[in-house]
């Protein structure tokens, strides 16, 4: 795919920042803020299907000459982006997932995304309950770019099948 940045569509008004990282983080990982002994850090989002209020993604460290193939080490300053609804990010997809255009996505609990599954059942069971703080976005990859990480090496920093365009909701 030749991806050089995780930002696909940005309005330019979304939030960017930098915090120390806790653990290995790759550009395109979904992040969460973590209190590490009183020090605010970021780490990969660690709860599968968990709340993702303030969807935050690791950026590539372009100022250091790095791109999306360069992982951050624990303790590095992690550049992050909090995209607004409607903006599009190249996000990492969980190993073994096959994502199709239009699929709803949620956290897989390791910084990657997986297909959304209902987190609660309504009392009448006629339709699923959508929990907006669980859903990260909707797959927007073009035909030929649909993510299929089944059989992919989840330790690989970059694989064309390991990332997917995701429109933030």
* Residue 111 DSSP class: S
Residue 96 main-chain phi, psi, to 5 deg? 90, -10
The sheet with strand 113-115 has its strands ordered as 7-9, 88-92, 163-168, 135-139, 104-107, 113-115
With a threshold of 0.75, does the pTM exceed it? yes
Report the pLDDT averaged over residues 128-147. 71
Mean of all residue pLDDT scores within the chain: 84
Other residues' Cβ atoms within 10 Å of the Cβ of residue 8: 17
Q: Who wins on pLDDT, 47 or 118?
A: 47
The confidence band for 155, taking pLDDT boundaries of 50, 70 and 90, is very low
Q: Are the C-beta atoms of residues 100 and 43 closer than 8 Å to each other?
A: no
| Residue 134 burial class via C-beta count within 10 angstroms: exposed 0-12, middle 13-18, buried 19 and up | buried
Residues forming a β-bridge with 39? 36
Mean per-residue pLDDT for 21-50? 94
């Amino acid at each position: 795919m030749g991806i050089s940045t995780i930002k696909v569509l940005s309005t330019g008004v979304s939030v960017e920042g930098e915090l120390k990282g806790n653990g290995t983080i790759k550009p395109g990982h979904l992040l969460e803020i973590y209190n590490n002994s009183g020090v605010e850090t970021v780490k990969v989002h660690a709860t599968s299907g968990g709340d993702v209020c303030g969807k935050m993604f690791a950026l590539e460290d372009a100022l250091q000459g790095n791109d999306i193939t360069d992982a951050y080490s624990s303790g590095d300053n992690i550049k992050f982006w909090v995209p607004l609804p409607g903006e599009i990010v190249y996000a990492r997809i969980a190993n073994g997932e096959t994502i199709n255009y239009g699929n709803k996505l949620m956290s897989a609990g390791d910084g990657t995304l997986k297909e959304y599954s209902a987190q609660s059942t309504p009392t009448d069971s006629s339709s699923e309950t959508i929990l907006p703080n669980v859903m990260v976005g909707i797959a927007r990859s073009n035909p030929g770019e649909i993510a299929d990480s089944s059989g992919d090496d989840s330790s690989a920093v970059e694989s064309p099948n390991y990332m997917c365009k995701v429109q933030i909701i």
